[in-house]
Structure 1
Amino acid sequence: MEYKDYYRIMGVARDATQEEIKRAHRKLARKYHPDVSKEPDAEAHFKEAGEAYEVLKDPEKRAAYDKLGSEWQAGQEFHPPPDWDAGFAFRGGGYTAADPGLHSRFFEELFGRDYARSARAAGRQSLRMGGEDQHAKVLIDLEDSFTGATRSISLRVPELTDAGRLGARERTLRIRIPKGIRPGQQIRLAGQGGRGFGGAEPGDLYLEVGFRDHPFYRLIGADIYLDLPVAPWEAALGANVQVPTPSGFVDLRIPADSQQGRKLRLKGRGLVGRASGKQAAAPAGDLYVVLLVTLPPADSDAAKQLYRQMETQLGFNPRAASGGFKSHG
């Protein structure tokens, strides 16, 4: 999809005040309003300016958009970085239920998520003037899901300075991470959302959980994948080795004649299940160990001699062993 430079569309600097952004939108709205404008593609420009203003007028959306950085050019092929919106606190759902006929694909990808649950909660709160629910995305370590943990997290809360410029304050919370929580699930912090009016109760804060990239585990659904380097003789002859899992090291038997890429399954060693309300805990995932046959370097005379002995004594041709290559000449 194409990157949208909302500041360029509005004709303002990236450090523009909210009043400057408002004035720019009024000017563009008058220039491109379809009912009065004679400009070419007036309706398209009018919608584009409206979309840009919808983002830049809102401190929370603007702060999240600014996090993407300024190195992108308008029209450039763009894909949001993973977890680009982590660490921001948003009022209500924080996102708009985007109308495909009104917004661009770029807008929908970044801001088109719809928290229906929070919308219903916001409706209830409006009747009692309670505080707004807030939402944020936080990243935790995979291991925290296995054992449960208590961690301090920091959230950036966008707000306007007295000069009307975009700023942010840091908010630190001590939270309990439930055992078995999975990416996409939420932690509810009662009373940690927006303040209520007239002494009414504050809203709640919902933290959507994501996992940080792990140095050696990959997560697919509830299953965990681990690439395990093994020596050629371990793969060929079989071996007993210790492999790490999020809950500790376990013994693993590598069968003889194992090939590169072979997957060995450790049942129930993936993400643990988490009970929710009256629902039973989901079954635990599995851990798959993927074998990576790693050759010793031929960096000494002795090592080179061993490789030459293997060449002459084994008579092994990997191309012939795999079926050979057919000539197309």
Structure 2
Amino acid sequence: MADDYYQLLGVPRSADAKEIQRAYRKLARTYHPDVNKQPGAEDRFKQISEAYHVLSDPESRAQYDRFGPDFRHYAGAEREYASQGAGGARGGGRTRARPGASGFSWSSAQAGAGPGGASVDWDDLFGDVFGSMRGMDSEAELELSVDEAFRGGPRTIILSGPDGDRQTFEIQIPPGTLDGQRIRVSGGGRAGRQDGGAGDLVITVRVRSDKRLRLDGKNIEMDLPISPWEAALGANVSTRAPGGPITVRVPAGSSSGRRLRLKGQGMPQPGGKPGDLFARVKIMVPPRLNDRERELFEQLKRESSFDPRSSS
């Protein structure tokens, strides 16, 4: 690290252990990732934490004062030379420098990694700095079909917790839940510090479209398969929508792709205006014709002057 550890903590080189600890706690209160979400805050916290771990240990501080920022390299070489003796290596052995705080991160510190492998009690270190603190929120995603999102209702989800255990949550999906909508489960997040309550579990809903139903905001679009004669003559077509069976009036002369709007039949919005349902006409032809059907189509072909290519 290029920065001087004393300058990072804002203390003179003559500072004693208590001054170093006070300076670190003041800076930790400002830059700890749990309380500061600004860009660069976590990196700054890592820097001041490394500085503190080096300067709070008498041995590593003495090495830092002697060798400067590269103290680990020189201190390690010095120990290796001492272990070999002035006459050369004994037994071909090699003594490695003790791991320092290089690469230190706040998450590893919480796991107990400190300078020289020493354990750090973070509850003791931060208890009087932060006091009670609410736990962080956890996030998850839940995929639903358009039908499921339309109806809503109870849902059981199982998630893996931070320590690998499985957590089960019973949640209520509001009818008409839209893609990207977030559902908050109070107390379902990470545990808090001291008397601080747990954070929340925030679930982002993803609504999955399929070949029959598609979601566009709070509007639903569905295919409406009809026969050539229903398209030409017009018809009242019964079909199934997310809200149940419906009848769609198809005007005469409807071509494939025509969108028929059913106002208010889209996604329900409790306390608000519901979306609309759009039935998109899709003309289907018989995959096989019997003799009579073929005869009638041949007759229509001879008598009709309709040219779909000239009218497009």
Q: What range is the shorter-chain TM-score in? A: 0.5 to 0.7
The CA distance in 2 between the partners of 1:320 and 1:179, in whole Å, is 47
Asked if residue 318 in structure 1 is aligned to residue 308 in structure 2, the reply is: yes
How far has the Cα of 1:191 moved from its partner? 1.0
Are the equivalent residues in 2 in contact too, given 1:297–1:303 (CA < 8 A)? no
Specify which of 245, 252, 256 is matched with residue 256 of structure 1. Answer: 252
Aligned position for 1:200: 196
Asked if residue 129 in structure 1 is aligned to residue 133 in structure 2, the reply is: yes
Amino acid at match of 1:308: E
Amino acid at match of 1:237: L
Q: 1:152 to 1:257 in 2, by over 3 A?
A: same
The CA distance in 1 between the partners of 2:162 and 2:187, in whole Å, is 19
Q: What SS is found at the alignment partner of 2:225? A: strand
Per-residue Cα deviation, 1:60-95 (whole angstroms, up to 9, x for no partner): xxxxxxxxxxxxxxxxxxxxxxxxxxxxxxxxxxxx
TM-score of the superposed pair, with normalisation by structure 1:
0.51
Q: 1:320 to 1:181 in 2, by over 3 A?
A: closer
Aligned position for 2:168: 172
Asked if residue 271 in structure 1 is aligned to residue 261 in structure 2, the reply is: no
Aligned position for 1:154: 158
Asked if residue 297 in structure 1 is aligned to residue 287 in structure 2, the reply is: yes
How far has the Cα of 1:251 moved from its partner? 1.5
The CA distance in 2 between the partners of 1:268 and 1:243, in whole Å, is 17
Are the equivalent residues in 2 in contact too, given 1:223–1:285 (CA < 8 A)? yes
Are the equivalent residues in 1 in contact too, given 2:132–2:193 (CA < 8 A)? no
How far has the Cα of 1:213 moved from its partner? 3.0
Are the equivalent residues in 1 in contact too, given 2:132–2:192 (CA < 8 A)? no
Specify which of 275, 294, 299 is matched with residue 309 of structure 1. Answer: 299
Q: What SS is found at the alignment partner of 2:309? A: helix
Q: What SS is found at the alignment partner of 1:249? A: strand
1:279-294 paired onto structure 2 within 5 Å: 281-294=271-284
Number of equivalent positions? 187
Asked if residue 185 in structure 1 is aligned to residue 181 in structure 2, the reply is: yes
Q: 1:242 to 1:157 in 2, by over 3 A?
A: same
Q: What SS is found at the alignment partner of 1:302? A: helix
How far has the Cα of 1:266 moved from its partner? 0.3
How far has the Cα of 1:136 moved from its partner? 1.2
Task: Point out the structure with the larger helix share.
Answer: 2
How far has the Cα of 1:244 moved from its partner? 1.9
The CA distance in 1 between the partners of 2:148 and 2:183, in whole Å, is 14
Are the equivalent residues in 1 in contact too, given 2:146–2:215 (CA < 8 A)? no
Q: 1:304 to 1:127 in 2, by over 3 A?
A: farther
Q: What SS is found at the alignment partner of 1:317? A: coil
How far has the Cα of 1:262 moved from its partner? 1.0
Aligned position for 2:235: 239
How far has the Cα of 1:158 moved from its partner? 6.0
Amino acid at match of 1:304: R
The CA distance in 2 between the partners of 1:264 and 1:288, in whole Å, is 5
Q: 1:145 to 1:319 in 2, by over 3 A?
A: closer
Amino acid at match of 1:291: V
TM-score of the superposed pair, with normalisation by structure 2:
0.54
Q: What SS is found at the alignment partner of 1:318? A: coil
Q: What SS is found at the alignment partner of 1:319? A: coil
Per-residue Cα deviation, 1:22-75 (whole angstroms, up to 9, x for no partner): xxxxxxxxxxxxxxxxxxxxxxxxxxxxxxx9xxx99xxxxxxxxxxxxxxxxx
Q: 1:143 to 1:192 in 2, by over 3 A?
A: same
How far has the Cα of 1:216 moved from its partner? 1.1
Aligned position for 1:218: 214
The CA distance in 2 between the partners of 1:156 and 1:300, in whole Å, is 58
How far has the Cα of 1:246 moved from its partner? 1.2
Per-residue Cα deviation, 1:170-214 (whole angstroms, up to 9, x for no partner): 433211112233221211111111112334311111111111333
RMSD over equivalenced CA pairs, Å: 2.6
Identity over the aligned pairs, expressed in percent?
38
Q: What SS is found at the alignment partner of 2:300? A: helix
Q: 1:158 to 1:203 in 2, by over 3 A?
A: closer
Q: 1:252 to 1:320 in 2, by over 3 A?
A: same
* Bigger Rg, structure 1 or 2: 2
How far has the Cα of 1:215 moved from its partner? 4.4
